[in-house]
Amino acid sequence: GAGVSQSPRYKVAKRGQDVALRCDPISGHVSLFWYQQALGQGPEFLTYFQNEAQLDKSGLPSDRFFAERPEGSVSTLKIQRTQQEDSAVYLCASSSTSGNADTQYFGPGTRLTVL
Amino acid sequence: QKEVEQDPGPLSVPEGAIVSLNCTYSNSAFQYFMWYRQYSRKGPELLMYTYSSGNKEDGRFTAQVDKSSKYISLFIRDSQPSDSATYLCAMSSGNTGKLIFGQGTTLQVKP
């Protein structure tokens, strides 16, 4: 079946521009996670949704980062006034239940480069 | 100090070798331990999932967890060139779904 998809796969933004990154989780998956992966590093947690509710946003690095999942399926991560330090791969993952130890399936990521 | 420490390598081995990868951690609340494999420009793919201490085997892969030492390992037997990738350890307390990852170890298996 289809896995987690993300778009765009690559995004180049000029410093100060706003960007929106999309995640399509596996159909029916309740939980959705966003992670940020800097070059040569492991993924770092940004935020977590259970259906449409954002239950944990403790990893968002600043108020320039905003995520939503209004209908409990597709999610968008928005970054306002991008900075060079925002350059990274943004990974989305979904899991089938609200169980906190459930397996997370990752998408291919969106590689954001801020010039 | 990071919650999860992992040697980034790179690690280069000949085909057929046994590979040992490991992570240490500091948070005693971690109960769920995972190993992900990540190929270049791809998302992480789950390899092994272990709850609490003990061993788990799946084909050529064996995961070990020693909670008393806060140390986890992944062993790959009869390594293949297709195993060349970055291996990420990840952990969770189970209180939330948040995963804490190590830095990742880059492995190259030479034919």
Summarised one tens digit per residue, pLDDT across range B39-77 is 999 999 999 999 888 899 999 999 999 999 999 999 999
B57 min Cα distance to partner chain A (Å): 17
Name every residue in A having a CB less than 8 A away from some CB of B: 4, 31, 33, 35, 40-45, 48, 55-56, 59, 91, 93, 95, 99-109, 111
What gap in Å lies between CA B97 and CA A95, rounded to an integer?
9
Q: What is the per-residue pLDDT for B2?
A: 85
| CB-facing half-sphere around the CA of A27: CA atoms within 13 A | 2
Asked if A44 and A59 touch (Cβ cutoff 8 Å), the reply is yes
- Shortest alpha-carbon distance between residue A89 and chain B (Å): 9
Residue range A32-60, pLDDT digits in tens: 999 999 999 999 999 999 999 999 999 99
pLDDT at position B53: 84
Can you give the pLDDT at residue A97?
Answer: 78
Nearest to A104 among B99, B102, B103 (CB): B99
Torsion of CA B49, A95, A35, A107, to 10 degrees: 90
Q: What pLDDT, on a 0 to 100 scale, did the predictor assign at position A69?
A: 97
Amino acid in position B30: F
pLDDT at B88 over 80: yes
CB pair distance less than 8 Å for B42 and A108:
yes
Nearest beta carbon to residue B97 from set A59, A95, A106: A95
Q: How confident is the model at residue B8 (pLDDT cuts 50, 70, 90)?
A: confident
Q: Would you state the pLDDT for residue A49?
A: 95
Evaluate whether B20 touches B72 at the Cβ level (below 8 Å). no
**Nearest chain B Cα distance for residue A84, angstroms:** 20
CA of B56 vs chain A CAs: smallest distance (Å): 16
Q: How far apart are CA B19 and CA B39, in angstroms?
A: 17
On chain A, the residues whose CB falls within 8 A of the CB of B102 are: 42
Q: In whole angstroms, what is the distance from residue B8 CA to residue B28 CA? A: 23
Q: What is the DSSP string of A26-62?
A: PTT--EEEEEEE-TTS--EEEEEEETTEEEE-TT--S
Summary mean pLDDT of chain A: 94
pLDDT digits (tens, 9 = 90+) for A64-106: 999 999 999 999 999 999 999 999 999 999 998 776 678 899 9
Of the pLDDT bands very low, low, confident and very high (cuts 50, 70, 90), residue B95 is confident
What is the reported pLDDT for B52? 85
Residues A12, A17: Cα–Cα separation, whole Å? 10
Mean pLDDT for the stretch of residues B66-93:
96
Candidates B47, B91, B96: best to mutate against A (most CBs of A within 10 A) is B96
